[in-house]
Structure formats: structure tokens, C-alpha cells
Amino acid sequence: MRERALIADLLAPLATHRAARGLTDDAAVWLPPLGREVVLTHDVIACGTHYLPDDPPSDVAWKLLAVNLSDLAAMGAEPVGVLLGLTLGGHEDDDWLRGFVAGLGRALTHFEVALLGGDTVRWGGAAVLGCTAVGQVPHGCALGRDGVRVGDAVWVSGTIGDAGRGLAVARGEAPHDKRLLDRYRRPNPRLALGRALVGTATACMDVSDGVLIDAQRLAAASGVGIELDLAALPVTGDCDEAERLIRATAGDDYELLFTAAPDAELAALATAKVPLTRIGRVVAEPGLTVLGAHGLITPARLGWEH
């Protein structure tokens, strides 16, 4: 399928938002509601690096949107739309494209975001899929990483480490488990939680490279330290300290890691599907400290360094 057909026949029917102008103009034009700031993020997923060539194309579309919307969630923003940069190789044949676009349509509907525009390129290399997510937030209300205060409690949403186990399943290194595979291939950006945290969280980010390394970054952005209780980490099932460390450094969780005043009442923000767990505290001494059952732990690695 040529680029023009891909856009006209498959993508344009999804671009129903007025701002997209049917994908026929050189750019999208969107009027933000009064008093809102525009929130903008761009993440790339490359075939073989961020997803596997055999991942179902509909899941690849989901993941492309989800990892970008997760950044909006971390800022407390409401998503509006996406622009896609699809650089496609020989592996992405017409069947793959139809699967991708079908999954894209379902993801756009699920997340209530508009397809606003983008670009498609055919080349000889592997696929590189870029997404710009556009969101909005009431003026002055965006969450950031630099508001952490000494004495704050450190919280995380959901469970940590399941996506990493899903990657092992996808690679054939662990027995098939649909739920874990889905955690890796179809992450759930915590959009409702992010918006609910505005006014309560002092700082927030999403967990993509491992909760340990990301906690270290959150602390560094605010010039403080974070102490994490490894035993408090929300994990699926029972696991010992060694396994907890593996999960805490596995990445791809797309949960929210955030800080709040120690007396902040967060129970009301949790749901059955998205529990919130207090996993540590903020201290003055910069750096990350991991506490195990028998005292301080020095992990060999904290997560994915790029």
C-alpha cells in the first residue's frame, strides 16, 4: 500500500476531529479551551527495541499511544489528540497495516483522543513509530518532577514488574501468560489518576525504566533523596527480596510514581483497578536509598539506562 492510500483509505477515516481537517491540509488547527495550557510530549518506539517484530500490530498501535499518553498522565493533563510519524519497512505489509490501523482506531476510542495528523514514510529499514501527544491542563496546574519536599510520602500506582515479566513471556523465556503479555504490550496510562493528583501530588512522573531508577530521577530533579521500602513495593503474588529487586528494575510499567504530603488523604483517589501504595519517604540527603528486610540494599542496577 502506498503512503497516499494508507493516509486516505485507512487513517483519514479515523481523523474525525474538526482540528484534523480530514488530514488534507498541511497541519492541524486546534482551539484550546480558555484558561488551559497545552501539554506536549513526543516518544518513539522502534521495532526490535521497544516492541518485538512479532507483537500483534494492533498491540503496537496501542503501545505507541499508551506510552505517550502516560507522559500526559504524569503531568496531570487531559489528552486531546495525537500526531503520528510512521516510518515503515518491508515487514509492515498491508495485513500488518490493517491490523495496526484497526488497533489504532480502538485505542483512539478507548482513550478518547483525536488523530490530528502526522506523516508516513516507506523505507528499507525496520519500523520507527513516533507519536506526539497533545493534552490540556488548567493554567498553572501541571504536575512536574521538581516539587518534591523533604518529609513527603512516596507513592506508586498499580503493581510493579508485571510488564517486565510479560516481556520475558513475549521472548519465549517464560511460560505463556496472557495477563503478563498484556501488561507488556498494552500498558494502561493512568490518565484519570494523573488528573486526580493535581492539587495533591507535589511531584509526579511515570515509571518506564524501572521504579528504582525513576525514583532516583524524581529525587534528583528536586535535589532531595528518596528512601524506598522494597517490602512495600506492590507486586503480583508472593515474591522474595531478590525477585522484588528484579521487578523494581524491570521497567515498562507505565504506573505513576508520585510524592505527596505525609498526611495527604489518597485512599479516595485509588480504585479497585488502580490501587495506590505508599512505598517510601523523602529525605534531605540526595540520592536513592533502598531498604530491605535486613537493612540497606545496594542493587547492581537500578533499571534501564539509555
Residues in the chain: 306
Q: Hey, CA dihedral for 238, 244, 248, 252, is it positive or negative?
A: negative
If one asks whether residue 117 binds a second copy (CB under 8 A), the answer comes out as yes
If one asks whether residue 48 binds a second copy (CB under 8 A), the answer comes out as yes
Query: Which of 122, 278 has the CB closer to a second copy?
Result: 122
Judged by CB under 8 A, the chain residues 224 through 263 that form the site for a second copy are none
The contacts of residue 272 (CB under 8 Å, 6+ apart) are none
Residue with cell 486526580: 196
Cα separation, 116 vs 15, in Å, equals: 6
Cα separation, 253 vs 164, in Å, equals: 8
If one asks whether residue 199 binds a second copy (CB under 8 A), the answer comes out as no
Annotation: binding site for ATP: 118-119, 145, 208
Residue of the chain from 2, 18, 110, 179 that contacts a second copy (CB under 8 A): 2
Cα separation, 233 vs 258, in Å, equals: 14
Cα separation, 231 vs 280, in Å, equals: 10
Stretch that binds a second copy, among 98-106, 124-132, 152-160, 293-301 (CB under 8 A): 124-132
If one asks whether residue 112 binds a second copy (CB under 8 A), the answer comes out as no
Site string for a second copy, 131-160 (x = CB under 8 A): -xxxx-x-x--x-xxx--------------
Cα separation, 275 vs 254, in Å, equals: 14
User: How far out from the chain centre does Cα 196 lie?
Assistant: 17
Residue of the chain from 58, 60, 78, 87 that contacts a second copy (CB under 8 A): 87
The contacts of residue 236 (CB under 8 Å, 6+ apart) are 159, 161, 162
- For the CB of residue 205, give the shortest distance to a second copy in the complex, in Å: 6
Q: Which residues bind a second copy (CB under 8 A)?
A: 2-4, 21, 24-32, 34, 37-44, 46, 48-50, 70-72, 74-75, 77, 83-85, 87, 116-126, 128, 130, 132-135, 137, 139, 142, 144-146, 205-206, 221, 305-306
